[in-house]
Each structure stands twice: as structure tokens, then as C-alpha cells.
Amino acid sequence: MSMGAALSSASGALSSSQTKTFDIVILGLDDAGKTSLINRLKAPGLLVGALPEATPTFAFESESISYGDNHITLWEMGGHEKLRPLWRSFMWKGHAHMFVVDATAPARFAEAKEELDRLLGELRLREHAHPVLVVANKIDAPGAPQLPEISRALDIESLAQGDRLVGLKSTSATSGEGVQEVMDWFVANVSHDQIARHNEYKAEVQANQ
């Protein structure tokens, strides 16, 4: 079965009663593969090596996709160091957040952890807890560390405190490995109640701008 068929089959199994419309804000250091991951989500059936060449994101971009009966908008924020102060201005758009880490760059795990800690610190100031999924991308590259090692480096276990939901998954935007599991995680963990609460919050933010 192809990657596209697998995604279609799995997402098609979701019943209409589970239909959700929500936004995911995608953050991470530069070169983590955020744009390539979005391209894979947009076109899961593309063969390995057929994804369009990704270019750096210098502000933010959005893409809307369907996953089963669910309608999801992906907001990607540029990861260059000079752009990271802008993350705070756009985080409120997300019902959930994805933080992408380059699994082939262990030397940058400490930097990634610092930014992830900062993200979670900002979210703790919000009225409602948002699901956060850390995605270790490029996991199929030769020599890439295994997920348990990445989990220890980022101290994932200690990040989920109180009602804060923090998960960890691995993917390869190139091959599509793990992409279905990532989307299933968000569909399962972004609840209808949380969507409604955050929509009210977003309306308040927009009204005060």
C-alpha cells in the first residue's frame, strides 16, 4: 500500500461525528524540515524524492489540509534565530503546536530544548493548555539517533506537567514515515471542548488587536 493510500485509509476511518476544524502552529529551529513536512502532509502520495525543494520560511506561511473529515490549518513559523522572537505573536493561532527537531543534528539538541522550554513557558501563561507534539524529523537518515536518545536529550518526560500534554513522535518528510502517526496524535488529542474554548480566546485576541 502506498503512503497516500495508507493515509487515506486510516483517516477515512474517522467517523463524521469526530469531525474537527482546528489549527496547528509549527515551530522549530531553522533546517529542521518544517516546510518539507508540510509538503508531505499536503501530498502524502508523492514518491520518495518527489517532494518539491523546500526554501527557508522568512516569516510565516499557512496551508489547509483535510485529514479524513477533519479540516486542519498548518501555520509554519520561520525558525531562523532572528525570527524566533516573532513566534510569541503567532502562537495564539494554534489549537495545538508542533515543534520539529532535526534528528540528524544532535549538536543542536540543546538549542532546540531551550526554544522548546521557552515555547512551553509561554503556553503556560495562557488560560488553556494546548497539546504540544515534538516531532523528530529525518529519523531515517544514516546515523540518526533513536527516539529514546532524543527524548532524553530534550527531557521530554519532565515537560508534561499538570494538564500539559507533550508528546514525541518521529518522522521522515522525505519518505512519509511516521506522518500518519503524527496526524492521528493531533486528531486524538485536540478535543472538541478545547477547540471551542480556544476559538473564544482567539476571538478575544482579535477583538483587542
How far apart are the C-alpha atoms of 158 and 173, rounded to whole Å? 27
**C-alpha cell, 136:** 523528530
Calpha distance 179→182 (Å, rounded): 5
**199 annotated among ligand-binding-site residues:** no
178 annotated as ligand-binding: no
Q: How many CB atoms lie within 10 A of CB 67?
A: 21
Q: Which residues neighbour 19 within 8 Å (Cβ) at sequence distance 6 or greater?
A: 69, 70, 71
**Cα(206)–Cα(142) distance, rounded to whole angstroms?**
45
193 is in an annotated binding site: no
155 is in an annotated binding site: no
d(CA 12, CA 17): 12
Determine if residue 93 is labeled as part of a ligand binding site: no
Is 32 a known ligand-binding residue?
Answer: yes
Edge-first strand listing for the sheet containing 70-77: 60-67, 70-77, 21-28, 96-102, 132-137, 166-170
Residue 57 is labelled as binding a ligand:
yes
Is 34 flagged in the annotation as binding? yes
Binding site, by residue number, is 28-35, 57, 79, 137-140
Binding site for Mg(2+), by residue number, is 35, 57
Binding site for GTP, by residue number, is 28-35, 79, 137-140
